[in-house]
């Protein structure tokens, strides 16, 4: 804060342009006019002149101090207005943040609801798959009976084995596709935290897909039932063919064909065993990929739990002082509020002291016998202590 220059009060000459000089020039002109007209005598002139001099000096100094104080108060008022505007902006930003967090919570709730629906659909699908597996087991039982019956008609079995090999190859290709899908799901999961809203639409689509898969599974169950009936019919037909083969078994040429077909069937069974081994390897890879996917999901849940814990601490810090770091935004706001409270108290004390001092100034102006002593606390020792405390408060 710049000091008030002495020239603003006086230039130390009679015709100066300082405030005291100008007021004295006007007062002197009035006194000379009154003295010339004989309204003021010699002894009275000196008394009036000294009284006017003292009053004008006090008035000039008070006017300059009040002028400086008004300027500083205006600056402080502007700073307080700026601070209030900043607080309003902060409250608005906090309100928008709360609205956004509420929207995120609603979206997360909807996402969890969709995931629950998806899991329900997957559970139902697993039930259908269990039924399909049981149907597959029945089919395998009938196929076993069919293979035992086909021992007598190896020519037809060779054709059936070739078809089974193609089926195994198709299953192997399907297992590879499943592994590729699992790997893609693992990649998608790594970016799932940044796409929660988009994932909701994806989950809805997946739920619809699972529902369709459930319907497909039911349809496949119906197809498997039809295949079971077909296998029963084929077994009956094979039994009839077996009876025919018994009659034709006495022919040596047919026996030669039978031996050749048996050798070919063994080779085909060997090829089928190799394909089955490859399918099993693909299934093992698929299980490993699914395990990695579950690990990614577990990490995601842990991260979401940590984030929710941080949000709880942030909300709790709004109302509880414990656990708040002094260097955090909330900690600094609390320190600012405390400092402002202390500032308001000091300001009230200063205003009360000013009123008392102004009262003493008025009494001193009207009664020169009024003194500054330890009773009214306006002596130099008391003023020195007040100034010292004031300088310590502003860290000067």
Q: How far, in Å, CA of 300 to CA of 344, rounded? A: 50
Range from 294-298, 361-365, 379-383 that averages highest in pLDDT: 294-298
Separation CA 192–CA 197 (nearest Å): 10
Residue spans per domain, the chain? 103-316, 324-396
Q: Please give the mean pLDDT across all residues of the chain.
A: 78
Round to whole Å and give the CA distance between 303 and 292: 17
65-78 tens-digit pLDDT: 888 888 888 888 99
d(CA 269, CA 275): 10
Identify the residue whose tokens are 């000039």.
Answer: 60
The answer, yes or no, to whether residue 243 has pLDDT greater than 80, is no
Please report the DSSP string for 82-111 in residue order: HHHHHHHHHHHHHHHHHHHHHHHHHHHHHH
In 3D space, the residue among 160, 151, 147, 158 whose CA is nearest the CA of residue 249 turns out to be 151
Residue 81 pLDDT exceeds 90: yes
Helix, strand, or coil here: 1? coil
> pLDDT confidence of 323, banded at 50, 70, 90?
low
Percent above pLDDT 90 for the chain: 5
Cα gap 17→25, rounded to integer Å:
10
Q: Tell me the Ramachandran region of residue 370: left when phi exceeds 0, alpha when psi lies from -120 to 50, beta otherwise.
A: beta
> Sorting pLDDT into bands at 50, 70 and 90, what band is 382?
confident
Give the Cα separation of 331 and 338 in Å (integer): 11
Return the pLDDT at 234.
Answer: 76
pLDDT at 257 over 80: yes
Task: Tell me phi and psi for residue 367, to 5 degrees.
Answer: -140, 105
Angstrom distances, CA of residue 236 to CA of 51, 159, 232: 142, 18, 6
Q: Which of 322, 106, 116, 117 is nearest to 196 (CA)?
A: 106
Task: Characterize 335-373 residue by residue with b for buried, 16 or more Cβ atoms within 10 angstroms of its Cβ, and e for exposed.
Answer: eeeeeeeeeeeeeeeeeeeeeeeeebeeebeeeeeeeee
Give the whole-angstrom CA distance, residue 106 versus residue 16: 77
What does the buried/exposed string (b/e) look like for 30-62 if buried means 16 or more CB atoms within 10 Å of the residue's CB? Answer: ebeeebeeeebeeeeeeebbeebeeebeeebee
pLDDT of the residue at 189: 59
Judged against a pLDDT cut of 90, whether residue 251 lies above it is answered with no
Please tell me which residue, 354 or 23, carries the higher pLDDT value. Answer: 23
Question: Closest Cα partner for 101 from 270, 278, 315, 245?
Answer: 315
pLDDT digits (tens, 9 = 90+) for 189-229: 555 556 567 667 666 767 777 788 777 767 777 777 777 78
Predicted confidence (pLDDT) per residue in 357-372, tens digit:
777 677 778 877 777 7
The two tokens of residue 292 are 């990695």
Phi, psi for residue 153 in degrees, rounded to 5: -130, 65
Q: What's the rounded Cα separation, in Å, for the pair 37 and 18? A: 29
User: What pLDDT does residue 177 have?
Assistant: 67
157-178 pLDDT, tens digit per residue, is 767 767 677 777 777 777 676 6
Of the chain, the percentage scoring pLDDT greater than 70 comes to 83
Query: Cα dist. 336→3, 99, 340, 345 in Å?
Result: 29, 26, 6, 14
Q: How many residues are given for the chain?
A: 396
Q: CA 158 to CA 272: how far, in whole Å? A: 12
- Residue 254: pLDDT over 70: yes
Using the predicted structure, report yes or no on whether residue 1 has a pLDDT greater than 70: no
Beta-carbon contacts of residue 231 (< 8 Å; ≥ 6 apart): 139, 142, 143, 146
Higher model confidence: residue 85 or residue 280?
85
């Amino acid at each position: 804060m710049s000091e008030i220059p002495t020239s603003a009060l006086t230039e130390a000459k009679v015709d100066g342009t300082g405030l005291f000089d100008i007021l004295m020039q006007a007062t002197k002109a009035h006194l000379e006019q009154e003295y010339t007209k004989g309204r003021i005598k010699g002894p009275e002139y000196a008394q009036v002149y000294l009284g006017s001099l003292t009053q004008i000096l006090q008035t000039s100094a008070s006017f300059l101090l009040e002028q400086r104080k008004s300027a500083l108060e205006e600056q402080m008022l502007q700073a307080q207005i700026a601070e209030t505007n900043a607080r309003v902006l902060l409250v608005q930003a906090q309100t928008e943040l709360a609205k956004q967090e509420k929207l995120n919570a609603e979206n997360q709730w909807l996402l969890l609801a969709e995931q629950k629906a998806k899991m329900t659909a997957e559970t139902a699908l697993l039930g259908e798959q269990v039924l399909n597996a049981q149907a597959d087991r029945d089919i395998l039982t009938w196929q076993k009976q069919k293979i035992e019956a086909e021992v007598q008609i190896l020519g037809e079995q060779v054709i059936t084995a070739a078809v089974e090999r193609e089926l195994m190859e198709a299953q192997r290709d399907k297992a590879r596709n499943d592994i590729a899908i699992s790997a893609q799901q693992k990649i998608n999961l790594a970016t799932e935290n940044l796409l929660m809203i988009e994932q909701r639409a994806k989950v809805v689509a997946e739920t619809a897909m699972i529902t369709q898969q459930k319907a497909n599974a039911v349809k496949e169950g119906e197809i498997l039932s039809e295949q079971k009936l077909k296998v029963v019919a084929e077994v009956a037909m094979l039994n009839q063919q077996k009876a025919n083969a018994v009659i034709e078994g006495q022919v040596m040429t047919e026996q030669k064909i039978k031996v050749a077909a048996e050798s070919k069937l063994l080779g085909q069974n060997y090829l089928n065993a190799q394909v089955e081994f490859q399918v099993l390897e693909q299934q093992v890879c698929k299980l490993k990929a699914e395990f990695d996917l579950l690990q990614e999901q577990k990490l995601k849940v842990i991260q979401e739990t940590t984030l929710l814990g941080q949000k709880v601490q942030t909300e709790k810090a709004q109302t509880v002082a414990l656990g708040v770091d002094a260097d955090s935004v909330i900690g600094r706001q609390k320190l600012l509020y405390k400092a402002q409270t202390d500032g308001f108290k000091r300001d009230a004390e200063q205003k009360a002291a000013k009123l008392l001092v102004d009262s003493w100034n008025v009494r001193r102006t009207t009664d020169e016998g009024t003194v500054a002593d330890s009773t009214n606390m306006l002596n130099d020792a008391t003023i020195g202590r007040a100034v010292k405390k004031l300088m310590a408060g502003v860290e000067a």
